Structure 1
Amino acid sequence: MVPGPKPLSLELSDHECQVPRGWLRKRTAPQALVLRSRIVLACAEGRANAQVALDLGVSRETVRKWRARFLADRLEGLVDRPRSGAPRKITDEQVEALVARTLDQAPPTGDSHWSTRSMAQARACRSRPSHGSGGRSASSRTSWRPGSCRPTRSS
């Protein structure tokens, strides 16, 4: 291993040391955040980028990136930044409600498991505006059309 330039020193406060350790213990933490936490904690021990990269099985560039991002933005630098592209069409609250619904209810199609299509269909049914006839015309109360929600018989 050829020694490179001396990396920037990385010192953590007590709080900055406890938060990444908490992410390491949290079973539901995203794996990318766990890896970044390991990188920062290893760098804080005074290890060189090359050694951290070797120990964690990542490239030196990855270690350099997260060391620099932590030095610039501290703990906030380890969290994913918003991505470019079209804005999301579904909010976090809607995702949470849909996940809760799929855990609490059986799929409306009678299947044993929810599929992405049945979840999308369930979401579409709930988000349609309701009118006096439940959002359906009299002629569509018992028939199914592609793109419509599963039919229900009204009384």
Structure 2
Amino acid sequence: MVTTSPFIIVPDPADLTALTGLANSRRAEHRQVIRARIILAAAQGHPNAAIAADLDLHVDTVRKWRNRYAHNGLAGLQDLARSGRPPVFTPVQVAQVKALACTPPADSDVPLARWSAAELAVQAVSQTMVTSVSPSTVSRWLTAGAIKPWQHRSWIFPRDPDFAAKAGIVLDLYDRRWQGAELGADDYVISADEKSQLQALHRRHPDLAPGPGRTRRVEFEYRRGGTLAYFAAYDVHHAHVIGTIAPTPASNPSPNSSTR
């Protein structure tokens, strides 16, 4: 004896089009495709048991989605909202750890120049903010926060009383002006500097390129090639760097220089 469902499915044209497209889709989630096929089969008058056998489902699954569609239409084929796992940490605890990250370690008698996620986790437990917390959780909190205490920007306070006048000359040159006149097409603004005491090192063996599951490997031992100086001149308005390397008085390597 075939049991007839009390829910007669008669989709309207719009629903029928949407269900057909979803049932034949290759990109939609599999569970959504199955639900659409259940409703289309029900609309053709097939009983729940036959639909379950045809789609290799439990009859309760067919009954569930048939019922949901009969009461809520296409919206009934969506998953219901779930509460999920209750939070382990309160918003106050998260805020306390973030506030700790914004204070210097010295304020907590910790001999560090700056915090790490691991040290923050240890200190948060030490100060009884939390019972336990992992460094990865602390890192996730800080990454998601609006304030990122590990980021910084260097600056220097100008103490020269003539700073504004001197800076004005430089800024005028960047703006292609000199003593109130426009620079010509053949005028160049060059910013030059020297980087001295560069150690020229030669690795004994070439680097090993990175691969799947392996980072780039760099040979530990090296030969000393002396000390060099790098001179660079930056063509400001053409974004071009002119560089050269020159030896310094101490560039000759010692005959007994060792590898490390």
Given the two structures, how large is their TM-score scaled by the length of structure 2? Answer: 0.35
Q: Distance in 1 between matches of 2:2 and 2:65?
A: 19
SS at match of 2:74: helix
Q: 1:33-70: per-residue Cα shift (whole Å, max 9, x none)? A: 11111100000011111111111111211111111100
* CA positional deviation for 1:31: 1.2
Q: In the alignment, is the contact (CA less than 8 A) between 1:7 and 1:48 conserved in 2? A: no
Greater displacement, 21-30 / 11-20: 21-30
Q: Distance in 2 between matches of 1:122 and 1:14?
A: 51
RMSD after superposition: 2.9
Gaps of 5+ in 1: 89-119, 136-155
Q: 1:95 — aligned with what?
A: none
**2:79 matched to 1:80?**
yes
* CA positional deviation for 1:81: 1.0
Q: 2:53 — aligned with what?
A: 54
Given the two structures, how large is their TM-score scaled by the length of structure 1? Answer: 0.55
Q: Distance in 2 between matches of 1:20 and 1:122?
A: 44
Q: 2:8 — aligned with what?
A: 9
Q: 1:101 — aligned with what?
A: none
Q: 2:32 — aligned with what?
A: 33
Q: In the alignment, is the contact (CA less than 8 A) between 1:7 and 1:49 conserved in 2? A: no
Code of the aligned partner of 2:72:
D
Measured at CA, do residues 124 and 23 of structure 1 come closer, stay the same or move farther in structure 2, by a change above 3 Å? Answer: farther
Q: Distance in 2 between matches of 1:59 and 1:68?
A: 15
**Mapping for residues 98-117 of structure 1, pairs under 5 Å:** none
Q: Which has the higher contact order (CA 8 A, sep 6+)?
A: 1
Whose Rg is larger? Answer: 2
Measured at CA, do residues 20 and 122 of structure 1 come closer, stay the same or move farther in structure 2, by a change above 3 Å? Answer: farther
Q: Distance in 1 between matches of 2:25 and 2:51?
A: 22
Q: 1:134 aligns with which of 130, 151, 155?
A: 151
Code of the aligned partner of 1:58:
L
Q: In the alignment, is the contact (CA less than 8 A) between 1:42 and 1:52 conserved in 2? A: yes
* CA positional deviation for 1:87: 7.0
Code of the aligned partner of 1:46:
G
Q: 1:96-129: per-residue Cα shift (whole Å, max 9, x none)? A: xxxxxxxxxxxxxxxxxxxxxxxx9996674352
Q: In the alignment, is the contact (CA less than 8 A) between 1:36 and 1:78 conserved in 2? A: yes
Q: 1:111 — aligned with what?
A: none
More helix by share: 1
* CA positional deviation for 1:23: 1.7
Q: Distance in 2 between matches of 1:4 and 1:15?
A: 29
Q: Distance in 1 between matches of 2:59 and 2:6?
A: 11
SS at match of 1:3: coil
More strand by share: 2
Code of the aligned partner of 1:36:
R
Gaps of 5+ in 2: 88-136, 153-260
Q: Percent identity of the aligned residues? A: 32
* CA positional deviation for 1:76: 0.1
